[in-house]
Amino acid sequence: MKPNHRTTSQQRGFTMTQMVITLAVIAIVSVAGVLGIKNARAEFRLQNNARLFASYVEKARADAIRRHAATGQESSIETFNAGTTSYAITMDFGSGILETRTFNLDSGVSFSTAPKKVTFDWRGRIAEAWVFQIRSEYLNRSLPVDVSGSGDITVGEQHFPDQLIPPVEIAEVTGDVDNSTATPTPTPDPAATPPLDGGGGAEATPTPTPTPTPTPTPTPTATPTPTPANNGNGNGGGNNGSNSGNGNGNPTPTPTPTPTPAAQCVASISPSSLSLSQSDSTKKTGSAVFTMINATGTRTISAAIAGNGNSLVLGLSLVRIDGSGSSVITVTTKNGAGNRGTFTVNVSADPSCGSTQQLTVSVSN
């Protein structure tokens, strides 16, 4: 009987190394697929919310034009502080009256720009161009919704015509109005003209000036002198029934001194607003000074964009200040459509020194 020997070519199955490599490849592909799906969902949510918001802006503009909105009856759209998810639309929703309704963005999406109310007049125009930035927390980026001065709405554009048109300078016209004052021709008085025959007529008797009658001065009424009251205890006698006391009066209490309150720590920032540009190299960076007065102890200074945005690069010259002092906040712009608009930078100290100071930064392309 021959022994049962298996050769290598007759063996079937996988080695342990092959199994580990296969599982590793499957895990990597699965993670990449899950991340891709999450990014796609977040991108879809951001795009959907931005375009839905833009559609409501367009509806408000069309409603103002349709109603030929009078002053005080304009359609408007209003956003609130950075990091919030709600916005208010004021227009005629079909009931024939002007009403305000509040709408919300989806979860994970919020506004990153400063609060603003945009009002459309009867021609569908607004006072000045404005940029609303809608930010995705998962993607950590924003999508702009631009509204031009003429009321045009675009989504996700980097360059916008309103900000590329230079301002029109209107020359003042002078000298086209005659401001001189006409001099009237004097008219002779017939009564003052002398007789033509040269004869002397009767002389006019001047009218005597009446002498004003003096107004009599009223006699003042005598006021009796008050008699001081006797605050003491004791017997006394005097003429005309007056009494004089020899006793001791009640002593005047000494007021308790009030301690002087300690000076409160006060913070300020100057200037309170900056206007920067993404393309102009001279305006890409700006600075403001944060100052503390009457401060004691060591405080930590912090600066952050409201709503946890990342559209600006912030820097501090001093992070820790002992007592009173100042720190320079440097603000630098970033390129990209999602980094335009008006943002709020909150600057504060820990422990607190007065109220949190706000720096408004406007970024144009």
Q: What average pLDDT score do residues 342-365 get? A: 93
Residue 103 pLDDT greater than 60, yes or no: yes
The predicted structure's pLDDT at residue 279:
87
Tell me the pLDDT tens digit for each residue of 28-83. 888 888 878 889 999 999 999 999 999 999 999 999 999 999 999 999 999 999 99
Q: Is pLDDT of 202 > 60? A: no
The label of the residue with tokens 């912030």 reads 314
Quote the mean pLDDT of the chain. 82
Task: Report how far residue 122's alpha carbon sits from residue 63's, in angstroms, rounded to the nearest whole number.
Answer: 9
Would you say residue 281 has pLDDT above 70?
yes
Determine the pLDDT at residue 48: 96
d(CA 247, CA 359) in angstroms, rounded, equals: 71
* 312/214: higher pLDDT: 312
What are the residues whose beta carbons fall under 8 Å from the beta carbon of 227, sequence distance 6 or more? 242
Residues contacting 299, CB < 8 A, separation 6+: 292, 320, 321, 349, 350, 351, 353
pLDDT of residue 189: 62
At 238 the pLDDT is 44
Asked if residues 303 and 345 have their Cβ atoms less than 8 Å apart, the reply is yes
* pTM given for the model: 0.65
